[in-house]
Protein backbone atom coordinates (compact mmCIF):
# COMPACT_ATOMS: atom_id res chain seq x y z
CA UNK A 1 0.00 0.00 0.00
CA UNK A 2 1.19 3.51 -0.79
CA UNK A 3 0.71 6.55 1.47
CA UNK A 4 1.43 10.08 0.27
CA UNK A 5 1.62 12.63 3.07
CA UNK A 6 1.20 16.34 2.25
CA UNK A 7 2.51 18.63 4.99
CA UNK A 8 4.35 21.86 5.72
CA UNK A 9 6.30 20.01 8.48
CA UNK A 10 7.78 16.93 6.79
CA UNK A 11 10.29 16.43 9.63
CA UNK A 12 7.45 15.47 11.97
CA UNK A 13 7.32 12.12 10.14
CA UNK A 14 11.02 11.28 10.32
CA UNK A 15 11.26 9.28 13.52
CA UNK A 16 7.74 7.74 13.47
CA UNK A 17 8.61 6.18 10.10
CA UNK A 18 12.11 5.09 11.18
CA UNK A 19 11.23 2.94 14.17
CA UNK A 20 9.71 -0.44 14.91
CA UNK A 21 7.05 -2.21 12.90
CA UNK A 22 6.42 0.68 10.48
CA UNK A 23 10.08 0.98 9.54
CA UNK A 24 10.25 -2.78 8.94
CA UNK A 25 7.08 -2.65 6.83
CA UNK A 26 8.77 -0.01 4.65
CA UNK A 27 11.99 -2.06 4.35
CA UNK A 28 9.96 -5.15 3.43
CA UNK A 29 8.03 -3.10 0.84
CA UNK A 30 4.68 -3.90 2.48
CA UNK A 31 4.08 -0.14 2.51
CA UNK A 32 5.57 2.85 0.76
CA UNK A 33 5.38 6.27 2.44
CA UNK A 34 6.16 9.39 0.42
CA UNK A 35 6.27 12.69 2.31
CA UNK A 36 5.77 15.89 0.29
CA UNK A 37 6.54 19.37 1.55
CA UNK A 38 3.63 21.60 0.49
CA UNK A 39 6.00 24.57 0.62
CA UNK A 40 7.91 23.12 -2.36
CA UNK A 41 4.76 23.71 -4.42
CA UNK A 42 4.30 27.35 -3.41
CA UNK A 43 4.90 29.70 -6.32
CA UNK A 44 5.39 33.15 -4.80
CA UNK A 45 8.76 34.60 -3.84
CA UNK A 46 8.35 33.81 -0.13
CA UNK A 47 6.90 30.33 -0.69
CA UNK A 48 3.84 31.25 1.38
CA UNK A 49 1.48 28.38 2.20
CA UNK A 50 -1.00 30.38 4.33
CA UNK A 51 -2.84 33.68 4.10
CA UNK A 52 -5.40 35.79 6.00
CA UNK A 53 -9.06 34.80 5.77
CA UNK A 54 -11.34 36.76 3.41
CA UNK A 55 -13.92 38.58 5.52
CA UNK A 56 -11.43 39.04 8.34
CA UNK A 57 -11.02 37.20 11.62
CA UNK A 58 -8.45 35.37 13.65
CA UNK A 59 -5.79 33.04 12.35
CA UNK A 60 -4.59 31.98 8.93
CA UNK A 61 -5.91 29.71 6.20
CA UNK A 62 -3.89 27.34 4.02
CA UNK A 63 -3.72 28.73 0.48
CA UNK A 64 -5.33 26.55 -2.21
CA UNK A 65 -2.70 26.71 -5.00
CA UNK A 66 0.22 24.94 -3.26
CA UNK A 67 -2.14 22.21 -2.03
CA UNK A 68 -3.72 21.71 -5.46
CA UNK A 69 -0.31 21.67 -7.08
CA UNK A 70 1.03 19.10 -4.56
CA UNK A 71 -2.06 16.94 -5.17
CA UNK A 72 -1.54 17.18 -8.95
CA UNK A 73 2.08 16.11 -8.48
CA UNK A 74 1.00 13.03 -6.49
CA UNK A 75 -1.67 12.28 -9.09
CA UNK A 76 1.06 12.29 -11.80
CA UNK A 77 3.45 10.11 -9.80
CA UNK A 78 0.77 7.62 -8.80
CA UNK A 79 -2.77 8.18 -10.10
CA UNK A 80 -5.98 7.20 -8.37
CA UNK A 81 -5.27 7.50 -4.64
CA UNK A 82 -8.09 8.27 -2.19
CA UNK A 83 -7.57 11.83 -0.94
CA UNK A 84 -8.21 12.21 2.80
CA UNK A 85 -8.08 15.55 4.62
CA UNK A 86 -7.22 15.30 8.31
CA UNK A 87 -9.49 17.78 10.02
CA UNK A 88 -11.19 18.21 13.40
CA UNK A 89 -14.53 18.38 11.54
CA UNK A 90 -14.07 15.00 9.88
CA UNK A 91 -15.73 11.65 10.33
CA UNK A 92 -14.26 9.84 13.34
CA UNK A 93 -11.47 7.37 12.62
CA UNK A 94 -12.27 3.93 14.06
CA UNK A 95 -10.92 0.39 13.75
CA UNK A 96 -13.68 -0.27 11.21
CA UNK A 97 -12.44 2.61 9.04
CA UNK A 98 -8.84 1.40 9.43
CA UNK A 99 -9.98 -1.98 8.06
CA UNK A 100 -11.78 -0.27 5.16
CA UNK A 101 -8.72 1.83 4.27
CA UNK A 102 -6.43 -1.21 4.58
CA UNK A 103 -8.25 -2.69 1.57
CA UNK A 104 -7.15 0.25 -0.63
CA UNK A 105 -3.93 0.48 -2.66
CA UNK A 106 -3.22 4.16 -2.19
CA UNK A 107 -4.12 6.89 0.32
CA UNK A 108 -3.19 10.56 0.00
CA UNK A 109 -3.26 12.22 3.42
CA UNK A 110 -3.48 16.01 3.51
CA UNK A 111 -2.35 17.53 6.81
CA UNK A 112 -3.97 20.85 7.60
CA UNK A 113 -2.42 23.52 9.83
CA UNK A 114 -3.64 26.89 11.16
CA UNK A 115 -7.42 27.35 11.19
CA UNK A 116 -7.86 24.99 8.23
CA UNK A 117 -7.57 24.79 4.46
CA UNK A 118 -9.31 26.94 1.85
CA UNK A 119 -12.86 25.62 1.43
CA UNK A 120 -12.38 25.05 -2.34
CA UNK A 121 -9.73 22.43 -1.61
CA UNK A 122 -11.97 20.71 0.95
CA UNK A 123 -14.99 20.78 -1.36
CA UNK A 124 -13.44 19.88 -4.72
CA UNK A 125 -10.06 18.17 -4.20
CA UNK A 126 -10.74 15.95 -1.22
CA UNK A 127 -12.67 12.65 -1.13
CA UNK A 128 -13.23 12.60 2.63
CA UNK A 129 -12.46 14.35 5.88
CA UNK A 130 -11.28 12.34 8.87
CA UNK A 131 -10.77 13.30 12.53
CA UNK A 132 -9.04 11.05 15.06
CA UNK A 133 -11.13 12.18 18.03
CA UNK A 134 -12.78 15.02 19.87
CA UNK A 135 -9.79 17.01 21.08
CA UNK A 136 -7.82 19.81 19.40
CA UNK A 137 -4.41 19.17 17.86
CA UNK A 138 -2.08 21.78 16.35
CA UNK A 139 -2.34 20.18 12.91
CA UNK A 140 -3.13 17.06 10.94
CA UNK A 141 0.36 15.47 10.98
CA UNK A 142 0.04 13.37 14.13
CA UNK A 143 -3.45 12.34 13.02
CA UNK A 144 -2.10 11.27 9.60
CA UNK A 145 0.59 9.23 11.35
CA UNK A 146 -2.11 7.56 13.47
CA UNK A 147 -3.84 6.47 10.23
CA UNK A 148 -0.59 5.18 8.68
CA UNK A 149 0.15 3.20 11.85
CA UNK A 150 -3.33 1.75 12.41
CA UNK A 151 -3.77 0.82 8.72
CA UNK A 152 -0.28 -0.57 8.10
CA UNK A 153 -0.41 -3.08 10.95
CA UNK A 154 -3.53 -4.62 9.34
CA UNK A 155 -1.75 -5.37 6.06
CA UNK A 156 -0.66 -8.96 5.36
CA UNK A 157 2.87 -9.69 6.59
CA UNK A 158 3.32 -6.47 8.60
CA UNK A 159 2.79 -7.98 12.06
CA UNK A 160 4.47 -11.16 13.22
CA UNK A 161 2.13 -14.02 14.19
CA UNK A 162 2.80 -13.38 17.90
CA UNK A 163 0.88 -10.13 17.80
CA UNK A 164 -1.55 -10.97 15.05
CA UNK A 165 -4.24 -8.40 14.29
CA UNK A 166 -6.89 -11.11 14.74
CA UNK A 167 -6.28 -11.08 18.50
CA UNK A 168 -6.86 -7.34 18.84
CA UNK A 169 -9.08 -5.72 21.39
CA UNK A 170 -11.37 -4.28 18.77
CA UNK A 171 -11.59 -7.22 16.39
CA UNK A 172 -13.57 -9.08 19.08
CA UNK A 173 -14.98 -6.01 20.81
CA UNK A 174 -13.67 -7.10 24.23
CA UNK A 175 -10.72 -5.57 26.04
CA UNK A 176 -7.70 -7.80 26.42
CA UNK A 177 -7.25 -9.85 29.58
CA UNK A 178 -4.40 -8.80 31.91
CA UNK A 179 -0.94 -10.09 30.94
CA UNK A 180 1.90 -11.17 33.24
CA UNK A 181 5.53 -12.09 32.70
CA UNK A 182 8.44 -13.02 34.98
CA UNK A 183 9.11 -12.72 37.87
CA UNK A 184 6.29 -14.80 39.41
CA UNK A 185 6.31 -12.53 42.48
CA UNK A 186 6.94 -8.82 41.97
CA UNK A 187 6.82 -6.26 44.81
CA UNK A 188 4.99 -8.98 46.77
CA UNK A 189 2.26 -9.26 44.10
CA UNK A 190 1.76 -12.74 42.64
CA UNK A 191 0.79 -13.93 39.17
CA UNK A 192 -2.63 -15.69 39.20
CA UNK A 193 -2.03 -19.41 39.94
CA UNK A 194 -4.01 -20.69 36.95
CA UNK A 195 -1.60 -19.05 34.48
CA UNK A 196 1.24 -21.21 35.89
CA UNK A 197 -0.84 -24.42 35.84
CA UNK A 198 -0.23 -25.46 32.22
CA UNK A 199 -3.96 -26.30 31.97
CA UNK A 200 -4.75 -24.62 28.64
CA UNK A 201 -8.53 -24.96 28.90
CA UNK A 202 -8.52 -23.43 32.39
CA UNK A 203 -6.26 -20.60 31.16
CA UNK A 204 -8.56 -19.87 28.21
CA UNK A 205 -11.53 -19.75 30.61
CA UNK A 206 -9.73 -17.44 33.02
CA UNK A 207 -8.81 -15.14 30.15
CA UNK A 208 -12.36 -14.96 28.82
CA UNK A 209 -13.73 -14.12 32.27
CA UNK A 210 -10.95 -11.57 32.89
CA UNK A 211 -11.62 -9.95 29.48
CA UNK A 212 -15.32 -9.62 30.18
CA UNK A 213 -14.72 -8.24 33.71
CA UNK A 214 -12.13 -5.75 32.40
CA UNK A 215 -14.56 -4.62 29.68
CA UNK A 216 -17.46 -4.27 32.17
CA UNK A 217 -15.27 -2.13 34.39
CA UNK A 218 -13.52 0.09 31.82
CA UNK A 219 -15.72 0.17 28.68
CA UNK A 220 -19.20 -1.16 29.55
CA UNK A 221 -20.69 0.33 26.36
CA UNK A 222 -18.63 -2.13 24.26
CA UNK A 223 -20.40 -5.13 25.80
CA UNK A 224 -23.79 -4.39 24.24
CA UNK A 225 -22.42 -5.27 20.77
CA UNK A 226 -20.73 -8.57 21.56
CA UNK A 227 -22.05 -11.97 20.56
CA UNK A 228 -20.99 -14.82 22.88
CA UNK A 229 -21.07 -18.49 21.87
CA UNK A 230 -23.25 -20.89 23.93
CA UNK A 231 -20.01 -22.36 25.36
CA UNK A 232 -18.82 -18.90 26.47
CA UNK A 233 -22.21 -18.11 27.99
CA UNK A 234 -21.97 -21.29 30.08
CA UNK A 235 -18.46 -20.41 31.30
CA UNK A 236 -19.45 -16.84 32.13
CA UNK A 237 -22.58 -18.02 34.01
CA UNK A 238 -20.41 -20.39 36.09
CA UNK A 239 -18.47 -17.27 37.17
CA UNK A 240 -21.64 -15.39 38.01
CA UNK A 241 -21.71 -13.28 34.83
CA UNK A 242 -25.00 -13.18 32.94
CA UNK A 243 -25.08 -12.02 29.31
CA UNK A 244 -27.90 -10.12 27.64
Report yes or no: 209 and 178 within 8 Å, Cβ to Cβ.
no
User: 82-92 and 106-111: which strand pairing?
Assistant: parallel
Please report how close the Cβ of residue 71 comes to ligand 9D3 at its closest, in angstroms. 17
Nearer to ligand 9D3, 63 or 177 (CB): 63
For position 143 contacting ligand 9D3 by CB under 6 A, the verdict is: yes
Determine the Cα–Cα distance for residues 125 and 45; give it in Å rounded to an integer. Answer: 25
Question: For residue 6, what is the enclosing H or E element?
Answer: strand 2-7
DSSP letter at 127 equals S
Q: Is 132 in the site for ligand 9D3 (CB under 6 A)?
A: yes
Task: Determine if 83 is a binding residue for ligand 9D3 (CB under 6 A).
Answer: no
CA–CA gap between residue 72 and residue 199 (Å, rounded): 60
56 binds ligand 9D3 (CB under 6 A): no
Q: Please tell me whether residue 57 binds ligand 9D3 under the rule CB under 6 A.
A: no
Over the window 157 to 186, marking each residue x when it contacts ligand 9D3 by CB under 6 A and - when it does not, the resulting string is ------------------------------
**DSSP state, residue 57:** -
Give 74's contacts (C-beta < 8 A, 6+ positions apart): 4, 6, 34, 36, 81, 108
Q: Pick the binder of ligand 9D3 from 26, 48, 137, 226 (CB under 6 A).
A: 137
**Going residue by residue from 86 to 125, which x/- string records binding to ligand 9D3, judged by CB under 6 A?**
xxx-----------------------x--xx---------
Please identify, using beta-carbon distances, which residue of 57 and 198 lies nearer to ligand 9D3: 57
* Positions of E strands within 22-165: 32-37, 50-51, 61-62, 82-92, 106-111, 128-131
Q: Is 139 in the site for ligand 9D3 (CB under 6 A)?
A: yes
Active site residues: 88, 115, 153, 168
Which positions touch ligand 9D3 (CB under 6 A)?
86-88, 112, 115-116, 131-133, 135-140, 143
Amino acid sequence: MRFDLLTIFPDLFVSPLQEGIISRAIQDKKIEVVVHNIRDFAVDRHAMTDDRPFGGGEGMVMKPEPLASALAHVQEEAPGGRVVLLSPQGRMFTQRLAEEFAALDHLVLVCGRYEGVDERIRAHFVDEEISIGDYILTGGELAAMVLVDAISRLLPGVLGCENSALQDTFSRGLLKHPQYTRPRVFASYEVPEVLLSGDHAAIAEWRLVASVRQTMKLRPELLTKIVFSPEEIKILRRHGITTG
